[in-house]
């Protein structure tokens, strides 16, 4: 059987180990071919090929449920669930999603773009199953990086309290999230990984003793012998109420199938610890597991990305990392915090240059935020650098631990706005809206990478909670400085262009498009004043209100959700000050932005300069003729 013939995972049933190994190689070949051509996550999926095939050999996917945590390791799952022929469209507009998607396949049982959710979701399914009196298996496949998240530990705590609720947790342990894992839990898993698998011996002890007459003394002996048979291996999971099995070689199909079959026989929660290698089967990815977690299109033979046709300006993340490092080298109070995203945020630069002032908390955004609050309380300058989409996970800590106490924590939000092919779970759409609602928080966004440098200095100098959002990707090529940056006055905007027909207030990444839009409107005889707002909170009312009154027509532009966003802030300001002028808000409406390139998404949303000019024209022309 060829991989292209598999449209239902149950077709794997009955295949020999040798036949499954052939399928495994075909999965790796297709995976590599696709990601090399169009880009995407590489290492995670390559590492779970045998795990996926071995697990699905023991499940009936017409009824059993599997939750993957996170979904980017589920490419092998996609390839055996009817998506082989469309797999070349991975992460492209109208193509296969890079994560699990309930709308994409009946075999995607739960969408997951953020880590640590699988055990909670699978346990919920198991409780629903039991409540309905039905009989099917519920499985959570969770990476060891995801296990550092508090939500996963909360779910383990709950599941361990339900000894009759059948739940299988498969721990995919490759010692990595994106970068190497940190903390006590990964260290404990490493000790387990280096120990021999002993669960079957402990079962054998139990089998030999089960016919002995019951007494409290014998029961204690029995439990003691079981613990002796499993010295330290999985003891923490056993104490938490799970039956522990492993560690299992995650690339040995025969061992995997045997272990999963055994796990299904147990009553109550079971944890199967599977040891895998990220990037397995592609030597280049095996050697560079951080770099090949995900890749842009590349040459399979060399592993090198295609050379760019022309040099590009540095990314916002790189400018951020370099500038913050320079500042920290001269100020020991600056502490950079990441939640397992050093490479994505530019803090890998900081880690190399100022290692003593760098903190990686693992996938634990809530902890990161309150840790920052504690650092700020005691006189340090914490810089919590988190993707916009992941900051949502610590909203309570922002309110309760930072803003209520007015602590000087500096939040730096990478990937704010439209992020492209990762899709709805990763779009940085909501931070303006949800942070604007919190008292004591200042919000700012740079128009380019040079202004980002000044905002970094501004945020570090501010004595209270403050946030800077900036987009994914390259800057505009603005002239950068190596030192001597000046702070910006809080809440003060910058006028970039003068005109009497229209006032455009643009925030962050929409400032340059606003200038292009104004140039297009100029061709129609419309002269625009363009303001770089710089701050969404507080707004520069001293500048905005007189301009709005004099010009009489206002447009706002933002790369974020319109409900509650920057445009809403301007609308509230105008209404509260009785300035009743026409207002048009341009941004992301109340929709999910699906995976596509950022340019494709902006076109679909009507956010290109040409489209924005076309939307603005009727507003100005109606006023010109007195309508």
Which H or E run contains 196?
none
Provide the token pair at 100: 């699990």
Which helix (H) or strand (E) segment holds residue 383: the answer is strand 381-387
d(CA 495, CA 530): 6
442 backbone dihedrals φ, ψ, rounded to 5°: -105, 135
Give the residue carrying structure tokens 């341009």: 586
For 171, half-sphere exposure in the C-beta direction (CA atoms, 13 angstrom radius) is 31
Whether the CB-CB separation of 139 and 65 falls below 8 Å is answered with yes
CA dist 76 and 72 (Å) reads 10
What strand order describes the sheet that includes 381-387?
A: 358-360, 334-338, 381-387, 410-414, 466-469, 442-444, 535-537
Crossing angle of helices 216-229 and 199-209, in 10° steps, is 160
Query: Degrees (nearest 5) of the Cα angle 193, 42, 302?
Result: 110
Which residues are catalytic, by number?
278, 365, 393
Buried b (16+ CB within 10 A) or exposed e, 215-233: eeeeeeebeeebeebbeeb
Helices (H) and strands (E) counted in the chain, each on its own, are 25, 19
Write the DSSP string, 248-280.
EETT-HHHHHHHHHHHHHSSSEEEEEEE--TTT
Nearest to 390, CA basis, from 422, 418, 360, 415: 415
Q: Check: CB of residue 39 under 8 Å from CB of residue 33.
A: no
Q: For 256-288, give one letter per residue: b (16+ CB within 10 A) or e.
A: bbebbebbeeeeebbbbbbbbbbbbbbebbbee
Residues 6+ away with beta carbon under 8 Å from 182: 148, 340, 360, 361, 362
Which are the contacts of 165, defined by CB distance < 8 A and separation ≥ 6?
123, 126, 127, 130, 159, 268, 269
What is the CB neighbour count within 10 angstroms for residue 550? Answer: 11
DSSP states along 10-60: GGGTT--HHHHHHHHHHHHHHHHHHHHHH-EE-HHHHHTHHHHHHHHHT--
For 428, other C-beta atoms within 10 Å of its C-beta total 27
Rg (CA), the chain: 27
Contact 81, 8 (CB under 8 A): yes
DSSP 74-127: -HHHHHTTT-TTTGGGTTSTTS--SS--TTT-TT--S--SSSS-HHHHHHHHHH
List phi, psi (to 5°) of 513.
Answer: -60, -35
User: The tokens of 562 are what?
Assistant: 């319109």
């Amino acid at each position: 059987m060829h991989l292209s013939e598999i449209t239902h995972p149950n077709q794997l049933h009955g295949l020999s180990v040798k036949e499954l190994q052939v399928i495994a190689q075909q999965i790796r070949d297709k995976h590599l071919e696709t990601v090399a051509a169009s880009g995407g996550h590489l290492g995670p999926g390559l590492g779970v090929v045998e795990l996926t095939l071995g697990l699905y050999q023991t499940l009936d996917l017409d009824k059993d449920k599997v939750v993957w945590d996170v979904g980017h390791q589920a490419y092998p799952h996609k390839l055996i669930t009817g998506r082989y022929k469309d797999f070349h469209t991975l992460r492209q507009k109208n193509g296969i999603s890079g994560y699990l998607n309930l709308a994409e396949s009946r075999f995607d049982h739960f969408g997951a773009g953020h880590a640590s959710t699988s055990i909670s979701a699978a346990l919920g399914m198991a409780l629903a199953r039991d409540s309905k009196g039905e009989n099917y298996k519920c499985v959570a496949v969770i990476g060891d990086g995801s296990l550092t998240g508090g939500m996963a530990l909360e779910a383990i705590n709950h599941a361990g309290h339900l000894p009759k609720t059948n739940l299988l947790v498969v721990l995919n342990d490759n010692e990595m999230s994106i970068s190497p894992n940190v903390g006590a839990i990964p260290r404990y898993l490493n000790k387990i990984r280096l120990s021999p698998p002993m669960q079957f011996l402990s079962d054998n002890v139990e089998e030999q003793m089960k016919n002995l007459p019951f007494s409290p003394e014998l029961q204690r002996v029995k439990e003691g012998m079981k613990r002796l048979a499993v010295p330290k291996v999985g003891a923490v999971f056993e104490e938490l109420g799970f039956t522990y099995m492993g560690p299992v070689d995650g690339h040995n199909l025969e061992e995997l199938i045997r272990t999963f079959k055994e796990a299904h026989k147990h009553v109550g929660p079971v944890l199967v610890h599977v040891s895998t290698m990220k990037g397995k089967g592609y030597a280049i990815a095996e050697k560079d597991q951080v770099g090949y977690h995900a890749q842009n299109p590349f040459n399979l033979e060399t592993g090198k990305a295609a050379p760019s046709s022309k040099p590009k300006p540095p990314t916002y993340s790189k400018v951020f990392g370099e500038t913050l490092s320079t500042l920290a080298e001269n100020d020991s109070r600056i502490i950079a915090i990441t939640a397992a995203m050093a490479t994505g945020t530019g803090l890998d630069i900081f880690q190399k240059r100022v290692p003593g002032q760098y903190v990686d908390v693992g996938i634990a955004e809530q902890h990161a935020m309150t840790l920052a609050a504690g650092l700020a309380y005691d006189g340090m300058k914490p810089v919590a650098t988190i993707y916009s989409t992941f900051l949502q996970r610590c909203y309570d800590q922002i309110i309760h631990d930072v803003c209520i106490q007015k602590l000087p924590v500096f939040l730096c939000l990478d990937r704010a706005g439209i992020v492209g092919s990762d899709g709805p779970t990763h779009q940085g759409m909501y931070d303006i809206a949800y942070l604007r609602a919190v008292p004591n928080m200042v919000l700012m966004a740079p128009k380019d990478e040079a202004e980002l440098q000044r905002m970094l200095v501004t945020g570090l100098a501010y004595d209270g909670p403050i946030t800077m959002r900036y987009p994914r990707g390259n800057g505009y090529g603005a002239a950068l400085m190596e030192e001597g940056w000046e702070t910006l006055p809080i809440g003060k905007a910058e006028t970039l262009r003068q005109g009497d027909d229209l006032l455009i207030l643009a925030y962050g990444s929409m400032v340059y498009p606003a200038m292009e839009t104004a140039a297009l409107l100029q061709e129609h005889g419309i002269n625009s004043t363009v303001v770089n707002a710089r701050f969404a909170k507080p707004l520069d009312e001293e500048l905005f209100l007189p301009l709005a009154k004099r010009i009489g027509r206002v447009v706002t532009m933002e790369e974020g959700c319109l409900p509650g966003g920057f445009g809403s802030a301007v609308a509230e300001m105008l209404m509260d000050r009785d300035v009743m002028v026409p207002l048009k808000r341009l941004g992301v409406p109340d929709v999910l932005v699906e995976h596509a390139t950022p340019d494709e998404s902006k076109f679909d949303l009507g956010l290109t300069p040409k489209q924005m000019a076309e939307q603005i024209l009727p507003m100005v022309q109606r006023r010109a003729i007195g309508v």
